Amino acid sequence: MPFTEQLPEQLALTAIDPDAHANWDSLHAALTQIRAEYPFARADVDGYPPFWIASKLEDIRTIARDAHNFKSGMGGMLSNEQIAFEREAGIAGLFRSVVAMNEPDHRKYRTLTQAWFQLKSVRRLQTDIDKLANRWVDNMAQLTPRCDFVRDIAAHYPLFVIMSILGVPDADEPMMLRLTQEYFGTHDSEQVRDAVPVTPQSAFEAQRKVIMETNEYFAHISAARRREPTDDVASVIANAMIDGKPISDIDAMGYYITLAFAGHDTTASSIAGALWALAEDPEQLAFLQKNPQFMPNLVEEAVRWTSPIHQFTRIAARDTEVAGQTVRRGDCVVLSFPSGNRDEAVFDEPFRFRVDRSENPHVGFGFGPHMCLGIHLARMELSGFFNALIPRLHSIALDGTPKRMTTNFVGGPKSLPIRFEFK
């Protein structure tokens, strides 16, 4: 079929609908068809503003790196009703995330903590991260022969890492985990705090409550760090200056939320996604145990395979040509990272989890100026955990039906029941 710029409504809806993203197989079936027949296409879907979908890795990278022509927008694609409720709820006035900033603000705010997350700085944390990884593998061993790997292990280990960097007390981990799950799970009936059917209004009301509770918590952290700074990222944020002036409370809260929530949830998803794949393909586990030099490959494959960031949107700042199509000023473009990470033109056997994959130019950490600030930390956490787990693991298999988060923004497995044996 010849390429066309108009994407059929049902395909477009599947690509952006949070419910569809909970079913990985049907989502990827739709994305595969989009890549083949409508690789960069405009969609007009009832109830949504017009948008384009970038499904090919090359187009995603091109748009993501072009901060001049494409400005940061929302996370996952929102319906007209969701956008209206977001405005009505006043969420934009509660915090401002560095993820959604554009130049010159983005560079200025990202620079505030960039030194903390550079490779040479992260290496100072190696010993502590390895200790945490071994502790959580020990915890897993105590649960033999079965556990829910997400709920019992994966959701906790990276959270303790990011909490230690932020300077959040370990005792507050249950609260931080709950807030993270509620923040990214506002479209998931099993994650929302109120037992009500998920609607656009209920989703944004739930998110507003999470943000307000989080803001209140970190306001106390900020006040304490201003009175008595310590060697943690919270002290950096609390005392940050931009252009000679303290950053606003809204910007500070946005920073806390971004680091605390996204800084752990994406890593947890990648760890769980990799273990899910190994449980379904024991040959990959056996290969890795015989060839431990491929552990770095496992880390990258985990992120590609899981694609914990589902979408980011960009808004065209001016008329711009992409893949032979003219994107008009003001048009919204959805960057589909799971699609780019299964691009047949780039990846050999894209639908196989392969720990021996040597060429892996995935966009699981994003791309361009907005690439994940904590990329080195995430890699270290993944490596630390699997270096601790893989040599001790004798066998692993699914022990029920895994579940994925209902979201089109950030998320991965939310339940992974497994049976396992340690050596």
Using pLDDT thresholds of 50, 70 and 90, give the confidence band for residue 193: low
Q: Which two tokens stand for residue 37?
A: 């027949």
pLDDT recorded at residue 1: 39
Contact of 210 with 192, CB cutoff 8 Å: no
Q: How many CA atoms lie within 13 A of 125 on its CB side?
A: 29
Among 4-13, 21-30, 390-399, the minimum mean pLDDT is found in: 4-13
Average pLDDT over residues 397-418: 94
Using the CB atoms, write b or e for 345-370: b if 16+ within 10 Å: ebbeebeebbbebeebebbbbbbbbb
pLDDT at 2 over 50: no
pLDDT at 107 over 80: yes
Q: Which domains does the chain have, with CATH numbers?
A: 6-422 (1.10.630.10)
Q: Give burial (CB, 10 Å; 0-12/13-18/19+) of 241.
A: exposed
Q: Where are the beta strands (DSSP E) in 309-410?
A: 311-316, 320-322, 325-327, 332-336, 393-398, 403-404
Which one, of 303, 243, 232, lies nearest residue 267 by Cα? 303
Average pLDDT over residues 210-224: 91
Average pLDDT over residues 81-95: 71
Q: How far apart are CA 300 and CA 303, in angstroms?
A: 5
Order of strands, edge to edge, in the sheet holding 40-43?
A: 6-7, 40-43, 51-54, 332-336, 311-316, 70-72
pLDDT recorded at residue 185: 65
Residue 171: DSSP 8-state: G
Q: What does DSSP say about strands 51-54 and 332-336: parallel, antiparallel, or unpaired?
A: parallel
pLDDT at 94 over 80: no
Q: How far apart are CA 36 and CA 32, in angstroms?
A: 6
Q: What does DSSP say about strands 40-43 and 6-7: parallel, antiparallel, or unpaired?
A: parallel
User: For the chain, how big is the Rg over CA atoms in Å?
Assistant: 21
Strand partners, 6: 42
pLDDT at 189 over 70: no
Q: pLDDT averaged over the chain?
A: 91
pLDDT tens per residue, range 330-384: 999 999 999 999 999 999 999 999 999 989 999 999 999 999 999 999 999 999 9
Q: How far apart are CA 113 and CA 238, in angstroms?
A: 11
pLDDT tens per residue, range 110-164: 999 998 999 999 999 999 999 999 999 999 999 999 999 999 999 999 999 999 9
Q: Which two tokens stand for residue 64?
A: 């993501």
pLDDT at 19 over 80: yes
Using pLDDT thresholds of 50, 70 and 90, give the confidence band for residue 198: low
pLDDT at 188 over 70: no
pLDDT recorded at residue 10: 94
Q: How far apart are CA 423 and CA 418, in angstroms?
A: 16
Cα distances (angstroms) measured from residue 83 to each of 91, 234, 303: 10, 31, 30
**203 or 299: which carries more pLDDT confidence?**
299
- What contacts 93, CB < 8 A, 6 or more positions away? 250
Average pLDDT over residues 173-194: 74
pLDDT at 192 over 70: no
**345 or 257: which carries more pLDDT confidence?**
345
Q: Which two tokens stand for residue 162?
A: 């990011």
Residues found in the chain: 423
Q: How far apart are CA 209 and CA 163, in angstroms?
A: 21
End-to-end CA distance of the chain: 53
Q: What string of H, E and C letters represents the secondary structure of 20-71?
A: HHCCHHHHHHHHHHHHHHCCEEEECCCCCCCEEEECCHHHHHHHHHCCCCEE
**217 membership: H or E segment, kind and range:** helix 200-227
pLDDT at 309 over 60: yes
Among 58-72, 89-103, 350-364, 399-413, the minimum mean pLDDT is found in: 89-103
